Amino acid sequence: MLVAPSILSADFGNLQKDIEMINNSQADMIHIDIMDGVFVPNISVGIPVVKAVAEIARKPLDVHLMIVNPEKFINTFKELGATWLNVHYEACTHLNRIVHEIHEAGMKAAVTLNPATPVCVLEEILPDLDMVLLMTVNPGFGGQKFIEGSISKVKKLRELIKATGSHAIIEVDGGVTLETGKRLAQAGVDVLVSGNTVFKSQDPIGTIGLLKKL
Protein backbone atom coordinates (compact mmCIF):
# COMPACT_ATOMS: atom_id res chain seq x y z
CA MET A 1 0.00 0.00 0.00
CA LEU A 2 1.19 3.51 -0.81
CA VAL A 3 0.39 6.23 1.73
CA ALA A 4 0.02 9.97 1.09
CA PRO A 5 -0.46 12.09 4.23
CA SER A 6 -2.65 15.13 3.46
CA ILE A 7 -1.14 18.28 4.93
CA LEU A 8 -4.57 19.94 5.08
CA SER A 9 -4.68 18.54 8.64
CA ALA A 10 -1.09 19.56 9.47
CA ASP A 11 -0.05 22.36 11.85
CA PHE A 12 0.25 25.38 9.53
CA GLY A 13 1.91 27.31 12.33
CA ASN A 14 4.77 24.85 12.20
CA LEU A 15 4.51 23.22 8.81
CA GLN A 16 8.23 22.48 8.62
CA LYS A 17 7.96 20.11 11.60
CA ASP A 18 5.13 18.16 9.95
CA ILE A 19 6.90 17.95 6.57
CA GLU A 20 10.02 16.66 8.34
CA MET A 21 7.84 14.09 10.13
CA ILE A 22 6.61 12.89 6.71
CA ASN A 23 10.21 12.87 5.39
CA ASN A 24 11.19 10.61 8.30
CA SER A 25 8.19 8.28 7.89
CA GLN A 26 7.37 5.47 5.48
CA ALA A 27 5.01 7.78 3.53
CA ASP A 28 5.29 7.50 -0.24
CA MET A 29 4.12 11.00 -1.20
CA ILE A 30 2.88 14.26 0.28
CA HIS A 31 -0.72 15.12 -0.63
CA ILE A 32 -1.37 18.87 -1.01
CA ASP A 33 -4.93 20.15 -1.38
CA ILE A 34 -5.43 23.34 -3.41
CA MET A 35 -8.94 24.86 -3.04
CA ASP A 36 -10.26 28.02 -4.69
CA GLY A 37 -13.53 28.68 -2.83
CA VAL A 38 -15.40 28.22 -6.14
CA PHE A 39 -15.08 24.57 -7.14
CA VAL A 40 -15.32 23.66 -3.44
CA PRO A 41 -16.79 25.70 -0.57
CA ASN A 42 -13.43 26.28 1.11
CA ILE A 43 -10.04 27.89 0.46
CA SER A 44 -6.82 26.13 1.50
CA VAL A 45 -3.26 26.98 0.50
CA GLY A 46 -1.75 28.50 -2.63
CA ILE A 47 1.47 28.76 -4.56
CA PRO A 48 3.78 30.28 -1.86
CA VAL A 49 2.93 27.48 0.58
CA VAL A 50 3.49 24.76 -2.04
CA LYS A 51 6.86 26.38 -2.81
CA ALA A 52 7.85 26.34 0.86
CA VAL A 53 6.77 22.68 1.22
CA ALA A 54 8.66 21.67 -1.94
CA GLU A 55 11.87 23.15 -0.55
CA ILE A 56 11.76 20.87 2.51
CA ALA A 57 9.98 17.79 1.12
CA ARG A 58 11.96 14.65 0.37
CA LYS A 59 8.90 12.74 -0.90
CA PRO A 60 7.11 13.27 -4.24
CA LEU A 61 4.37 15.92 -4.16
CA ASP A 62 0.84 14.73 -4.99
CA VAL A 63 -1.08 17.92 -5.79
CA HIS A 64 -4.89 17.73 -5.69
CA LEU A 65 -6.40 20.71 -7.52
CA MET A 66 -9.93 21.50 -6.33
CA ILE A 67 -10.14 24.56 -8.58
CA VAL A 68 -11.97 25.68 -11.70
CA ASN A 69 -9.87 26.01 -14.88
CA PRO A 70 -7.01 23.83 -13.59
CA GLU A 71 -5.37 23.97 -17.05
CA LYS A 72 -4.22 27.52 -16.26
CA PHE A 73 -1.83 26.24 -13.59
CA ILE A 74 -0.27 23.09 -15.10
CA ASN A 75 3.12 24.68 -15.74
CA THR A 76 3.05 26.52 -12.42
CA PHE A 77 2.78 23.26 -10.48
CA LYS A 78 5.45 21.63 -12.63
CA GLU A 79 7.81 24.49 -11.79
CA LEU A 80 6.92 24.13 -8.11
CA GLY A 81 8.06 20.51 -8.27
CA ALA A 82 4.84 18.48 -8.37
CA THR A 83 5.27 14.83 -9.42
CA TRP A 84 1.55 14.02 -9.56
CA LEU A 85 -1.11 16.47 -10.74
CA ASN A 86 -4.75 15.62 -9.93
CA VAL A 87 -7.48 17.50 -11.79
CA HIS A 88 -11.18 16.99 -11.16
CA TYR A 89 -13.22 15.46 -13.98
CA GLU A 90 -16.03 17.86 -13.00
CA ALA A 91 -13.76 20.90 -13.53
CA CYS A 92 -12.44 19.98 -17.00
CA THR A 93 -14.40 20.49 -20.21
CA HIS A 94 -11.48 19.30 -22.37
CA LEU A 95 -10.10 16.56 -20.16
CA ASN A 96 -8.13 14.76 -22.89
CA ARG A 97 -6.25 17.98 -23.75
CA ILE A 98 -5.51 18.69 -20.09
CA VAL A 99 -4.21 15.17 -19.41
CA HIS A 100 -1.86 15.47 -22.37
CA GLU A 101 -0.69 18.90 -21.22
CA ILE A 102 0.14 17.44 -17.79
CA HIS A 103 2.22 14.74 -19.49
CA GLU A 104 3.92 17.25 -21.81
CA ALA A 105 4.88 19.25 -18.73
CA GLY A 106 6.59 16.10 -17.39
CA MET A 107 4.19 15.15 -14.58
CA LYS A 108 2.08 12.09 -13.84
CA ALA A 109 -1.57 12.69 -14.74
CA ALA A 110 -4.38 11.84 -12.35
CA VAL A 111 -8.10 12.49 -12.68
CA THR A 112 -10.28 12.87 -9.60
CA LEU A 113 -13.97 11.96 -9.34
CA ASN A 114 -16.44 13.43 -6.85
CA PRO A 115 -18.52 10.86 -4.95
CA ALA A 116 -21.58 11.28 -7.23
CA THR A 117 -19.61 10.93 -10.49
CA PRO A 118 -19.67 7.35 -11.82
CA VAL A 119 -16.44 5.64 -12.88
CA CYS A 120 -17.85 4.92 -16.38
CA VAL A 121 -17.14 8.54 -17.43
CA LEU A 122 -13.44 7.64 -17.46
CA GLU A 123 -13.72 4.81 -19.99
CA GLU A 124 -12.17 6.73 -22.91
CA ILE A 125 -9.43 8.50 -20.95
CA LEU A 126 -8.31 5.64 -18.66
CA PRO A 127 -5.56 4.30 -20.97
CA ASP A 128 -3.91 7.76 -20.79
CA LEU A 129 -4.00 8.09 -17.00
CA ASP A 130 -1.36 7.28 -14.41
CA MET A 131 -3.80 7.45 -11.50
CA VAL A 132 -7.48 7.87 -10.67
CA LEU A 133 -8.35 9.58 -7.39
CA LEU A 134 -11.76 8.62 -6.02
CA MET A 135 -13.11 11.11 -3.49
CA THR A 136 -14.55 9.13 -0.60
CA VAL A 137 -16.04 12.30 0.94
CA ASN A 138 -17.34 15.45 -0.75
CA PRO A 139 -14.19 17.52 -1.34
CA GLY A 140 -13.48 20.69 0.62
CA PHE A 141 -12.78 19.70 4.22
CA GLY A 142 -10.71 17.30 6.28
CA GLY A 143 -12.14 15.06 8.99
CA GLN A 144 -15.39 14.08 7.24
CA LYS A 145 -17.17 10.73 7.41
CA PHE A 146 -16.29 8.11 4.81
CA ILE A 147 -19.00 7.47 2.18
CA GLU A 148 -19.73 3.72 2.31
CA GLY A 149 -20.68 3.36 -1.37
CA SER A 150 -17.02 4.06 -2.18
CA ILE A 151 -16.05 0.42 -1.59
CA SER A 152 -18.14 -0.85 -4.50
CA LYS A 153 -16.99 2.12 -6.61
CA VAL A 154 -13.34 1.06 -6.11
CA LYS A 155 -14.23 -2.45 -7.27
CA LYS A 156 -16.01 -1.08 -10.38
CA LEU A 157 -13.00 1.11 -11.18
CA ARG A 158 -10.62 -1.83 -10.76
CA GLU A 159 -12.68 -3.77 -13.35
CA LEU A 160 -12.76 -0.82 -15.77
CA ILE A 161 -8.99 -0.35 -15.49
CA LYS A 162 -8.52 -4.00 -16.38
CA ALA A 163 -11.02 -3.87 -19.25
CA THR A 164 -9.39 -0.79 -20.81
CA GLY A 165 -5.81 -2.07 -20.42
CA SER A 166 -4.93 1.00 -18.35
CA HIS A 167 -1.89 1.11 -16.05
CA ALA A 168 -3.58 3.67 -13.76
CA ILE A 169 -3.31 3.14 -10.03
CA ILE A 170 -6.24 3.89 -7.68
CA GLU A 171 -6.00 6.52 -4.94
CA VAL A 172 -8.73 7.35 -2.42
CA ASP A 173 -9.15 10.54 -0.40
CA GLY A 174 -11.43 11.34 2.53
CA GLY A 175 -12.41 9.61 5.75
CA VAL A 176 -9.57 7.08 5.52
CA THR A 177 -8.98 5.43 8.91
CA LEU A 178 -7.29 2.15 9.82
CA GLU A 179 -10.76 0.56 9.59
CA THR A 180 -11.97 2.04 6.27
CA GLY A 181 -8.42 1.76 4.91
CA LYS A 182 -8.41 -1.98 5.49
CA ARG A 183 -11.64 -2.43 3.53
CA LEU A 184 -10.39 -0.11 0.78
CA ALA A 185 -7.21 -2.18 0.52
CA GLN A 186 -9.26 -5.35 0.14
CA ALA A 187 -11.33 -3.63 -2.59
CA GLY A 188 -8.17 -2.93 -4.63
CA VAL A 189 -6.90 0.54 -3.68
CA ASP A 190 -3.21 1.35 -4.30
CA VAL A 191 -2.83 4.73 -2.50
CA LEU A 192 -4.47 5.91 0.73
CA VAL A 193 -4.59 9.68 1.32
CA SER A 194 -4.95 10.43 5.00
CA GLY A 195 -5.31 13.74 6.80
CA ASN A 196 -6.92 13.53 10.22
CA THR A 197 -6.03 9.89 10.89
CA VAL A 198 -2.32 10.74 10.57
CA PHE A 199 -2.12 14.25 12.00
CA LYS A 200 -4.56 13.87 14.92
CA SER A 201 -2.84 10.67 16.00
CA GLN A 202 -0.54 10.58 19.06
CA ASP A 203 2.09 8.89 16.90
CA PRO A 204 1.83 10.09 13.25
CA ILE A 205 4.91 8.13 12.09
CA GLY A 206 3.54 4.96 13.67
CA THR A 207 0.10 5.55 12.13
CA ILE A 208 1.66 5.98 8.66
CA GLY A 209 3.45 2.67 9.27
CA LEU A 210 0.14 0.98 10.16
CA LEU A 211 -1.57 2.36 7.03
CA LYS A 212 1.36 1.04 4.94
CA LYS A 213 0.67 -2.48 6.21
CA LEU A 214 -3.02 -2.53 5.17
Binding mask 156-195 for Zn ion (x = CB under 5 A): -----------------x----------------------
**173 catalytically annotated:** yes
The C-alpha angle with vertex 84 and arms to 88 and 200, in degrees rounded to 5, equals 85
- Size of interface with ligand DX5, in residues (CB under 6 A): 22
Catalytic option among 62, 128, 130, 173: 173
CB of 23 to ligand DX5, least distance (A): 19
The verdict on 9 binding ligand DX5 (CB under 6 A) reads yes
**4 forms part of the interface with ligand DX5 (CB under 6 A):** no
Of residues 22-61, which lie at the interface with Zn ion (CB under 5 A)? Answer: 33
| CB of 175 or CB of 204, closer to ligand DX5 | 175
Q: Is 33 in the active site? A: yes
- In the complex with Zn ion, the residue whose CB is nearer, 101 or 173, is 173
**60-119: which residues touch ligand DX5 (CB under 6 A)?**
64
Q: Which does 112 bind (CB under 5 to 8 A by kind): ligand DX5, Zn ion, none?
A: none
3-state secondary structure the chain: CEEEEEHHHCCHHHHHHHHHHHHCCCCCCEEEEEEECCCCCCECCCHHHHHHHHHHCCCCEEEEEECCCHHHHHHHHHHHCEEEEEEEHHHCCCHHHHHHHHHHCCCEEEEEECCCCCHHHHCCCHHHCCEEEEECCCCCCCCCCCCCCHHHHHHHHHHHHHHHCCCCEEEEECCCCHHHHHHHHHHCCCEEEECHHHHCCCCHHHHHHHHHCC
Question: Contact at 8 Å (CB) between 61 and 21?
Answer: no
The pattern of x and - marking residues 125 through 144 that bind ligand DX5 according to CB under 6 A reads: ------------x-xxxxxx
Binding site for Zn ion (CB under 5 A): 33, 64, 173
* Residues with catalytic function: 33, 173
Binding site for ligand DX5 (CB under 6 A): 6, 8-9, 31, 33, 64, 137, 139-144, 173-176, 193-197
